[in-house]
Amino acid sequence: MRLQAARIAGIDREEKLKLALVIPTLCEAQNISRLLRRVRAALDSAAISFEIIVVDDNSSDGTADIVSTIAREDPHVRLIVRKGERGLSGAILDGWRQTDAGILGVMDADLQHPPELLPQLVRAVEDGSDLAVGSRYTSGGALGDWNFARRLFSLVAVWATWPVQKGGLRVRDPMSGFFLVRRTAIEHIAFQRTGFKLLLEILVRGRVASVQEIPIAFGRRAGGASKANCKVAWQYARLLAHLYASRCGLHRRHALGAGF
């Protein structure tokens, strides 16, 4: 009985420490091979069970074909192709639903997020944090070569989140797309599928009791085109308005998408 109990406990620990890292893609053929090599090397050094789930929104540049070839040679890599739907948040949520991992993560495919910092994010969660964020705005972080207008827009967008974030848990970079979160902190919550700012909604609506921000230097896009546009800004404004309304009790919270 003791041996069986110890074995079950060992299985529970292994499942708890498994990481599923989702990488959403849309026409990232120029970057994805190099990114997956760097992610695999970083996670190999983190000494954690992991899988890398690439969720591709039916790219027209052969991104899915490249990932499919890599996945045939590397059992850590999986490919999901979505047709008829696009959107970063929805891609992340669809990827997370395809795994039983206890730690869920996301990063961009354009090489602006440094994969080499993944072990630090993993360590933060292993040490007890519910959420570990790759942060441009914490001490030691950097925005890279952004121009003045982009820096100003980003700072205003971050400033606008402070009233809706939870007191005592305010994150300096709630707009980050590079983070890990415990499944238990977000399980069974229906998040909005449209838009690009899932982290902000997790901070407001998730069961997050502790956060650690890891400084990152935001890199330059290696290839391909940025997905930021007026539609993305509009989706962010709508999300922010909804979170403000929910925070102020102006309407009941309602399901914005399927939970997982």
Buried b (16+ CB within 10 A) or exposed e, 224-250: beebeeeebeebbeebbebbeebeeee
254 in any annotated domain: no
Which residue type does 88 have?
Answer: L
Question: 98 with 80: CB under 8 angstroms?
Answer: yes
Helices (H) and strands (E) in the chain, counts: 9, 7
Please tell me the predicted confidence (pLDDT) of residue 161: 81
Q: What angle do CA 233, 166, 112 make, to 5 degrees?
A: 45
73 in any annotated domain: yes
7 in any annotated domain: yes
Residue corresponding to tokens 């192709």:
81
79 in any annotated domain: yes
Where helices occur in 17-133 by DSSP H, the ranges are 32-45, 63-73, 88-97, 118-126
18 in any annotated domain: yes
Structural domain containing residue 12: 2-247
Structure tokens at 248: 């102020």
Query: CATH number, domain at 147?
Result: 3.90.550.10
Total domains, the chain: 1
252 in any annotated domain: no
Length of the chain: 260
Q: What global pTM score does this model have?
A: 0.82
Structure tokens at 164: 């809706």
E-assigned strand segments in 76-142? 77-81, 103-106, 131-135
255 in any annotated domain: no
Per-residue pLDDT of the chain (260 residues; tens, 9 = 90+): 443 343 334 434 444 589 999 999 999 999 999 999 999 999 999 989 999 999 999 999 999 999 999 999 999 999 999 998 888 899 999 999 999 999 999 999 999 999 999 999 999 999 999 999 999 989 898 876 667 777 777 788 887 787 888 888 899 999 899 999 999 999 999 998 887 789 999 999 999 999 999 999 976 555 554 545 566 666 667 776 777 677 655 444 444 445 66
26 in any annotated domain: yes
